[in-house]
Structure 1
Amino acid sequence: MRLYRSRHMAARFIPFLFRVFVRTYVRPRVEGAEKLPTEGSFIIVANHSSHADTAVIYAALPRHVRERFVAAAAKDYFFQGGFWQFLSRVLFNAIPISRDRRGGQDPLRHAARALREGYALLLYPEGTRSKDGKVGPFLGGVGRLIADFPGTPVIPTYLFDTMKVMPKGAHFPRPHRVTVRFGDPIYIKAHPRFRATWRSAAEELRDAVLQVGGIAPAPVAPAEEKAAPPAPAEEKGEE
């Protein structure tokens, strides 16, 4: 369980101070935290409209989850060295997710390993922050993880008003009360070898997140897939 936990000395005290700051600054209401599994790996899937999202979710987690928590973060944004990479690693044990297929490596390899190691993994399947607060289409990569780790609980989660704290393009957070609502664990099925099931699982999961937020699901155009490797050649007819 030490694999992805930051070993930097700052990780001993900065996360505590950061949680105090978040709880004071945005006073998060937390609903459904008792639904989070007490052991074993699971996936938290949430809507994404602000850089404040991960901070708010982290501050809302009970201790038994924080101790095994990792947050998936865009490799091209948070893993280019410097302050943001340091902070995301120390605070959230962040792991990189590639938003394209360059380099020939599996962009979800760290997410998969985290689940194998028993971590609680935070994912934003939209792949980017919403510009208008509406939940966009979910990428099929989350469906592929579900297919590769059958029986893993998924916690649909909805964040309210984080966009008012730090909208896309803002550099400093604003004080505004937010809400984190965790839904009941769900178990979605997908087949490891068929991408069509990854996409249907992602759509089902998006509907679950909207339901937790009290929003009626509406059809959306499929997202452009950037976070999943190509299907095996013999499978391409299953699109």
Structure 2
Amino acid sequence: MRLLTRRETSAFEEPARRAALFRLISLLLQYPDAELLAARDELSRAALALPESPTRDALVAFTAWYAECEPMPLARAYVETFDLRRRSSLYLTYYLHGDTRRRGMALLTLKQRYRVAGLTPPEGELPDYLPVVCEFAALAGPSIGEAPLRQHRKGLELIRTALREAGSSYSLVLDALCAELPDLSAAERAAVADLALAGPPAEEVGLAPYGPPLDETPNETEVRP
């Protein structure tokens, strides 16, 4: 894994800066496996290399926490935060479509969008998984690659709100991401508040494979290998 140094970033035009930023966010939102744990110092340097901004401040604060965490508690926190809580699931189409047939079509459309851009969706992962969507934004550029993030801006706000309410340090990564996207209008903020109360649409018709995990507190948190 190779990320950007301060000198390289300073020479970049805005599209390249955004690409580096979305790539970094994609990595920070993935499960902290051995490769990511080994790259924590490099991730911290990449955050420090960003131009001065609220986005940089949020990512510097997060990577400082990330670098200090012991591996097992960090992995456990990730699983408990994103795998076991429906309100902070990283699967974006759930917030827009819930467990309905429209979600299946949205997933297919997103996968086709990747292929049209010449990118191959990862095996074993849904195309609306936020780290994958951020990686697409980094690779395909602002006009095409960032469109799915803008489309799911309300869902991102819901995730950020849930992380803040849970006191999760991962809220800093969502702060950084949302700071790079258009702000919500008053009507959109009202819609987010309504959605937070009522939840996404529900339709229990053959979409079990797409649903995010239910909120639950198991006796022992399973940590991925």
Per the shorter chain, which TM-score range? under 0.3
TM-score by length of 2: 0.27
Greater RCO (Cα-Cα under 8 Å, separation 6 or more): 2
Which structure dedicates a bigger proportion of its chain to strand?
1
Which structure dedicates a bigger proportion of its chain to helix?
2
